[in-house]
Amino acid sequence: MNEKKTEELFESLLSEGMDMDLTDPNLCGTPKRLAKMFCKELFNKGDVPILTTFPNEGYDEIILLDNIPVTSVCSHHFVTFSGLAWFAYLPGSKLIGASKISRLITYYSRGPQLQETLGIQVVNHFCRELEPRGVFMVMRAVHGCMATRGVCTGMNAGMTTSITRGVFREDAKARAEVMDLIKLSITDRR
């Protein structure tokens, strides 16, 4: 990404396109901050995270990683959406380091994105690497494009998506068990 060019374009957009006075102390430096935010923070994917795995020595129950922060940018309006994800899997022959799911979610969150696509990308990557018996990912996010523009719903209305693979797609009892664990993790936060 070309941060300097991005800064120049933001400067032009704000001053010429939106008729803003960039000498205003509150706007001075804004094009530079915007360029840094988009180029180094929101859209900087970095390297694909390496999913450190370990041999599974007989664990055959659900593993849930909960309350994982998610922040991305809506590809339709370039406004952020933020929330939490819950990621459960029923392992096959491999287990994963606990921090790796957060890293995977962060990686796919960088850049213009749809919440639905983000979940699919994370789950598909995980399934390719680990070949688990099942995966269930739930994500709830508040979308700035809905909260602050258009219908102006505020910060309480959000969107919840779920992605299931393997046993969690095929077996209603397994899916219900994950939902119970997610409810427990939400209750524990209060």
Q: Tell me the per-residue pLDDT of 9-40, one tens digit each, with 9 for 90 and over.
A: 999 999 999 999 999 999 999 999 999 999 99
How many domains are there within the chain? 2
Do residue 60 and residue 38 come from a single domain?
Answer: no
**pLDDT value of position 189:** 64
Q: Which residues of 5-43 are buried (b: 16+ CB within 10 A; e: fewer)?
A: ebbeebbeebeeeeeeeeeeeeeeebbeebbebbbeebb
pLDDT digits (tens, 9 = 90+) for 140-162: 999 888 767 777 777 777 899 99
Task: Please list the residues that pair with 74 across neighbouring strands.
Answer: 113
Do residue 96 and residue 157 come from a single domain?
Answer: yes
Do residue 87 and residue 33 come from a single domain?
Answer: no
User: Is residue 72 situated within a structural domain?
Assistant: yes
Give the global pTM: 0.90
User: Is residue 47 situated within a structural domain?
Assistant: no
Do residue 77 and residue 96 come from a single domain?
Answer: yes
Element at 84 (helix H, strand E): strand 80-90
Do residue 63 and residue 145 come from a single domain?
Answer: yes
**pLDDT value of position 146:** 77
**pLDDT value of position 152:** 75
Domain of 16, in residue numbers: 3-42
User: Is residue 48 situated within a structural domain?
Assistant: no
User: Is residue 153 situated within a structural domain?
Assistant: yes
Element at 170 (helix H, strand E): helix 167-170
Residue numbers in the chain where pLDDT is lower than 50: none
**pLDDT value of position 188:** 63
CATH number of the domain within which 99 lies: 3.30.1130.10
